[in-house]
Amino acid sequence: MYQPTNFIPTDLTINSWTDLKPYFDALISSEVNDSEALGQLILHYSETLSVFHEQNAWSYINMSRETTNQEYLDRHELFATKISPELEKAANVVEKMIVNHPSFSELPDARFGQLKKKLRRELELFREENVELSAEISKLSTQYDQLTGGLTVTLDGEEMPMPKASVKLQSSDRTTRKEAWLAISEKRYSIKEEADRIYNDMLKLRVQSAKNAGYDNYRDFSHDQHQRFDYTPQDAIDFQNAIEEHIVPLAKKIGESHRDKLGLAKDDYRPWDGAGEPEGQEALKPFKTGSELLEHAVNIFSEIHPQFGENLKAMKAADLFDLESRKGKAPGGYNYGLETTGMPFIFMNAAGTHRDVVTMCHEGGHAMHTFLTNDEPMIHYRDTPSEMAETASMSMELLTAELWNKFYDQKDHIRARREHLEGIISFFPWCATVDAFQHWVYLNPNHTFEERDAYFDELNGRFTSGLIKWDGYDHFRRNAWQRQLHIFGMPFYYVEYGIAQLGALQVYRLYKQDPEAALKGYIKGLSLGSSKPLPEVWEAMGIKFDFSAETLKELVEFVQQELNDLQD
Ligand SMILES: [Zn+2]
């Protein structure tokens, strides 16, 4: 853990902007005569941001754990709509001061090169009038979380939250699956109008913020805002096309073999069958409680690297997990880094499924990243771009897979690993769909609801296997984009998962050849945070930052080989 100076107490309580303002005033009025003083200013600024980020994190974590707790909602809203906007404006003043200082360009590139790029980009994009707009968007995002987090369905007389109901989609009993699928789809569809309205309001605000910053469209603005220094929007489109060409065929094969296992005729493979288990085979049941899940995770992580296990234990001792699904919890799962604690919080909605095992290992990978960067004094470098963050987490899924026998007997273990790899393949087309959808949405911002659903359906045609017969339920298919929370709250944050998966597969391939080298590279790469450009970080990991068609093809062949080895 880095040693902060005494510029700002790390346990400062923030209840309003006035609690933080004096520190920003001090930063802004500090005398900076040389590059040494400039370096000091950067550190003090980083520490101030860290204190804010930690409490901002808690305001989000608490709200997501109890979306109906008014006190938490109020505090989250206070941070999102009152404190953050003020902070953004003050941060802009400090950043201008740093970037415009005569010594800034003299700071050595080896240490400050990435910071220079990041801060310059932030300044280029900053518009005071956008601060208000992002606060508005953030409010809408909370509305969407509340809208979806509160959804329940009643099955067999039991009212249950969506993640729990989704487990029934894996049942080997077709009637159970169908009932669950219909109940879930109808419930999701019942909020369509409201979700469409929220999305449209977000869209308008986003388009306006891009215009304010001098961009033609929000897509390009968002690309720059995500600080994607190492690839272009066109690269992302090429990636979508490569997925269509090289991955969709394998995904289709996986779908066909699933349909055959269910013993269904070609024209009888229905939307409620997609996740179903063959008769006589139940869904994998790896654990019952959250604490059981955690206990196995600690053992598995320890086996990969003793320190990894210690990290999870330290989090447990500090009460930094909320794992089980509960009514009123926000959907999804996340690892939220706590900047002054030096550890993260892991949130998820575990319901005892195999997917939860994967999520735990995934978030655990993010957590290791938080630990490995916590010696870095600059928050700007502890914060990593999603392409790298997701490489850390998805690699961990693959590295832990061989140890999932803690959850399963041998037969189920093979099945779990096979399903995981199949899931990776099936994910790419969805990733391309979500990304392509947003490219279209933001390049054609004046579309109607009808056109939007129709375009999404066109993408379904390109990227799904086309094996499922939807007759009578087409409206649910056309609306399926609404279940992807990223599309609402984190626009364009999705292609990263695809890019990162390519990184993770490379890490895994290396691990199979030379575990020690792969692990050493993993630790080295993660420790770099964002202090180096992505291609350099990946190089340190022993892999290539490349998502061209050739690389994709090569990795698909590797996965195909792995799948062949896992036939039972
Ligand atoms: Zn992740």
Q: From the CA of 522, how far away is ligand 1's center (Å)?
A: 16
- Kind of pairing, strands 321-324 and 343-350? parallel
Quote the ligand 1 centre to 443 CA distance (angstroms): 27
pLDDT of 83 > 90? The answer is yes
What does the alpha-carbon distance between residue 316 and residue 350 come to, in Å, rounded to a whole number?
16
Q: How many angstroms does the Cα of residue 498 sit away from the middle of ligand 1?
A: 11
- Angle (CA) 106-109-114 rounded to 5° is 120
Q: What is the DSSP letter of 347?
A: E
Among residues 350, 410, 398, the alpha carbon closest in space to that of 509 is found at: 398
By C-alpha distance, which of 486, 433, 453 is closest to 144?
486
Quote the ligand 1 centre to 389 CA distance (angstroms).
7
How far is the CA of 10 from the CAs of 5, 27, 49, 267, 538, in angstroms?
10, 16, 10, 62, 33
**CA 518, CA 542: separation in Å to the nearest integer?**
7
Ligand 1 centre from 392 Cα, in Å? 8
- The predicted-structure confidence for 202-250, as pLDDT tens digits, reads as follows 999 999 999 999 999 999 999 999 999 999 999 999 999 999 999 999 9
Does pLDDT of 568 surpass 70? no
- C-alpha 317 – ligand 1 centre gap (Å): 23
497 CA distance to ligand 1 middle (Å): 8
Mean pLDDT of 351-368: 95
291-345: per-residue pLDDT in tens?
999 999 999 999 999 999 999 999 999 999 999 998 889 888 999 999 999 999 9
Q: List residues, by chain if needed, whose CB lies under 5 Å from ion ligand 1.
A: 393
- Dist CA 175 CA 272 (whole Å): 9
Average pLDDT over every residue of 280-289: 90
| Tens of pLDDT, residues 402-450 | 999 999 999 999 999 999 999 999 999 999 999 999 999 999 999 999 9
- Which residues are CB-neighbours of 490 under 8 A, at least 6 positions away? none
Q: Where along the chain do its domains lie?
A: 17-126
Ligand 1: distance of its center to the CA of 388 in Å? 10
Cα of 365 vs centre of ligand 1, distance in Å, is: 8
Ligand 1 center to 495 CA (angstroms): 12
CB 14 within 8 A of CB 20: yes
Centroid of ligand 1 to alpha carbon of 390 (angstroms): 5
| Cα(2)–Cα(339) distance, integer angstroms | 10
How much distance in Å is there from the Cα of 359 to the middle of ligand 1? 8
Write down the pLDDT at residue 281. 87
Residue 67's region, left for phi above 0, alpha for psi from -120 to 50, else beta, is alpha
Q: How far is the CA of 362 from the centre of ligand 1 (A)?
A: 6
Q: What's the CA-to-centroid distance between 301 and ligand 1, angstroms?
A: 17
Please tell me the distance from the alpha carbon of residue 458 to that of residue 438, in angstroms, as a whole number: 13
Does the pTM surpass 0.85? The reply is yes
Question: What is the arithmetic mean of pLDDT over 461-473?
Answer: 96
CA of 173 to the centre of ligand 1 (A): 32
* Dihedral sign computed on CA atoms, order 31, 35, 36, 38: positive
CA 205 to chain centre: 23
Mean pLDDT of all residues in 468-475:
97
